[in-house]
Amino acid sequence: MKKFFLLFLALGAVAFAGEADGESMIKAYSVVAAGVGLGLAALGGAIGMGHTAAATIAGTARNPGLGGKLMTTMFIALAMIEAQVIYTLVIALIALYANPFLG
């Protein structure tokens, strides 16, 4: 827990470093928000993919005859889980390179 606190403290120091004009602050906070957002999205996606794979393996172990159908359903579910992470990446890239808060 102390490591995370120090990490966020360091990110805050980077965000507040340099000149204190509004544009640089918005850019700094956008970088921090993009990094944290992508990290959380990747974490959630990885947990969801792990649960999906575990459920598919358990279902195949219980009924091997349904293995093909379960694998097809698993791949569709994995694609939808990964799509959520990609949406977060797109929003992070918009915040970094086409920031709507900068005039």
Question: What tens digit of pLDDT does each residue of 13-67 get?
Answer: 666 665 667 777 788 888 888 889 999 999 999 999 999 999 999 999 999 999 9
pTM, two decimal places: 0.71
pLDDT in tens, 70-84: 999 999 999 999 999
C-beta contacts of 24-31 below 8 A and 24+ residues apart = 26/99, 26/101, 26/102, 27/99, 27/102, 30/95, 30/96, 30/99, 30/101, 31/96
Name the superfamily (CATH) of residues 24-97: F1F0 ATP synthase subunit C (1.20.20.10)
Map out the domains of the chain as residue ranges: 24-97
